[in-house]
Chains A and B, each alone.
Chain A
Amino acid sequence: MTLPLALSQNTVNLVYAAAAILLILGIKRLSSPATARSGNLVAAAGMALAVGITLFSPGLDRYWLIVAGIAVGSVIGIVSARMVRMTAMPQMVALFNGVGGGAAALIAAAEFHRLAPGPGGLAGDILAGIMFSALIGSISFSGSLVAFAKLQELLPGRPLTFPAQQVFNGLLFAATLAAAVAAAAAEKQVWMVALLSGALIFGVMLVLPIGGADMPVVISFLNAFTGLAAASTGFVLDNVALIIGGTLVGASGTLLTVLMGRAMNRSLANVLFGAFGAAPSGGGSPGAATSDGQMVREITADDAAVMLAYASQVMVVPGYGLAVAQAQHATRELADLLEGRGVRVKYAIHPVAGRMPGHMNVLLAEASVPYPQLLDMEDANPELGRTDVALVVGANDVTNPAARSNPESPLYGMPILDVDSAANVIVLKRGMSPGFAGIDNELYSNPKTAMLFGDAKASVERLVAGVKAV
């Protein structure tokens, strides 16, 4: 069955051009706070236009298959996007990115199956496009699933390494490339299966040794990968909408990845292949000593509340612990109370606080924290020197002084918030377990530092009660 009003390819391409313009305007508007939300809608409209007009493509058949697929995908997409909590947003982005990459790989596999062994063989550019989509799409799919599993804590966040891992990965990648070349040369399905399997395993192996703290960079990197895989299917199918849409994401995603890497003072190569050398110490149980035996000082919520209430400036340093405990509203309440007493309250936002750049801003915006109180790292560090109490809520690696002082530390060189320059530090933390990077934090054994153990939300609520009672 073909649709009676199938349009000419020229008409369809014209509409694709209009859709591409909407996608471009959408990205443009997404990059400015005032227009961001409308930008998302404009891009979505462009996407709807591109998908809609594709139904009228000449020679298109099997509408039941297409409509059923879109229906199933829409239900899954709507339900998962509606159900997810704001804190779980990063892993959701990883998941959506993964299925996009998977779609590109499946398109490559299906086209290869249909065309090969073609009569007289396939054109070189089509073959190259198929192999590239299959390779990059599969890596993005399995890599994103591992990133999802790490963020969802289905897998440990620390780097998973084994001896000679890089040699193994190198050989695996070489073998996968060889399979791609063989598939292109022989046009045999078995080589395509080998290519897909190799690329899927490589995607897993690529992300496993990467520590949780680097996960935002990895997701952004894989996001760019999926864009390129989509663009590559555009070359296979000779479709300009795919080329433009995919390439825009490939390019902007690459730039975003570089910007994030720069914020952490690490090159992309270092993130991908510089698996943290030191084996992280296990120590997950709450206790009063770091795993190398340093003693830490505990404080009661009431004592901490008194310190806060009589400070002239308090700097809140939020981290992932605040996000998982959903403590942003309680923190806002605490800040309001303190401000009512004349205390200046500011927030120090590390570029990768939470799980992604900007993640913490989203969570604090949800709790209606005014923007001017949010300081980025460059502004926050000088302010910390004038701060009476730095209140660290569930942040760990981004406050670790070892990043400044200890060249042996895997974190060495990463810009951090100089929390230890404040007069006093109160750290809200569940227990003495190391952070997402799996490394002890010497901040905790600093004599200025007092620890308040417990769930971040419960602790902040106890502080609120304490300040009210002062």
Chain B
Amino acid sequence: MNAELIFSLTIFALAVFLGFELIARVPTLLHTPLMSGTNAIHGIVLVGAMLVAGTADSTLEQVLAFVAIVFGTVNVVGGFLVTDRMLDMFRRRPDRPDRAE
């Protein structure tokens, strides 16, 4: 095992625990927005697609990387926008003062 792999595995292990801890106490009300929000976050795969495109040699690799970038971008952009629309529903409306939190 090289040093880089050990470093990566350490980051991975810490991120697993962090992922569990972060949402351990989420109310049911937020389950759907949270799923949608984390769904957008795994769109980080776009970064990988960009790096692969940046080093692609053959036409086939370029095509694969291009489609991967499109997919990743749809995941990121669509994911965050849909989540924002959902959460917009929870905004307190000034015209409804009787609305409790």
Contacts and interface: CB of A to CB of B under 8 A. Distances in A.
Interface of A: 23-24, 26-28, 30-34, 36-37, 39-41, 43-44, 47, 50-51, 54-55, 57, 59-62, 65-66, 68-70, 72-74, 76-78, 80-82, 84, 86, 89-90, 92-93, 95-97, 99-100, 102-104, 106-107, 109-111, 113-114, 125, 219-220, 223, 226-227, 229-231, 233-256, 259-260, 263, 351, 356-359, 361-362, 365-366, 368, 370-372, 376
A237 B60 contact: no
A247 B44 CA distance: 11
Contact of A376 (B28, B40, B67): B28
Contacts of B52: 107, 110-111, 114, 237
25 contacts: A27-B38, A31-B25, A33-B30, A34-B101, A36-B30, A51-B47, A54-B51, A57-B54, A60-B55, A70-B69, A73-B46, A73-B71, A76-B78, A77-B75, A82-B81, A84-B82, A96-B82, A99-B74, A107-B48, A114-B61, A220-B35, A243-B8, A245-B42, A247-B15, A256-B38
A114 B98 CA distance: 62
Task: List the 6 closest pairs (A to B, CB-CB), nearest first.
Answer: A73-B73, A251-B19, A69-B69, A77-B77, A245-B44, A81-B81
Q: Is the interface of A mostly helix, strand, loop or mixed?
A: helix
Of listed B24, B26, B88, B101, residue having the most chain A CB within 10 A: B26
B76 to A, nearest CB: 6
Interface in B6-50: 8, 11-12, 15-20, 22-50
Interface residues of B, number: 86
Given A36-B87, A54-B51, A371 B44 contact: no
B37 A26 contact: yes
Contacts of A54: 47, 50-51
Given A125-B1, A227-B42, 4 more contacts: A41-B84, A95-B78, A226-B45, A239-B47
B41 A27 contact: yes
A343 to B, nearest CB: 17
Contacts of A73: 46, 69-74, 76-77
Contacts of B83: 40
Contacts of A43: 37, 40-41, 80
A93 B36 contact: yes
A357 B31 contact: yes
Given A72-B70, A103-B49, A365-B90, A246 B77 contact: no
Contacts, number: 376
A95 B43 CA distance: 12
Of listed A40, A80, A235, A362, residue having the most chain B CB within 10 A: A40
Q: Is the interface of B mostly helix, strand, loop or mixed?
A: helix
B48 A230 contact: yes
Contacts of A351: 28
Contacts of B54: 57, 59-62, 66
A360 to B, nearest CB: 9
Contact of A103 (B33, B75, B98): B75
Nearest to B78: A77
A337 B40 CA distance: 40
B45 A233 contact: yes
A103 B19 contact: no
A37 B68 contact: no
Nearest to B61: A110
Given A30-B33, A47-B40, A358-B32, A114 B86 contact: no
A59 to B, nearest CB: 7
Contact of A371 (B56, B74, B93, B101): B101
A106 B68 contact: yes
B100 A77 contact: no
B81 A77 contact: yes
Contacts of B16: 247, 250-251
Contacts of A60: 50-51, 54-55
A459 to B, nearest CB: 24
B45 A230 contact: yes
B93 to A, nearest CB: 6
Given A43-B40, A90-B32, A248-B22, A69 B53 contact: yes
A110 B33 contact: no
A458 B32 CA distance: 27
Contact of A357 (B28, B81, B96): B28
A89 B46 contact: no
Nearest to A233: B48
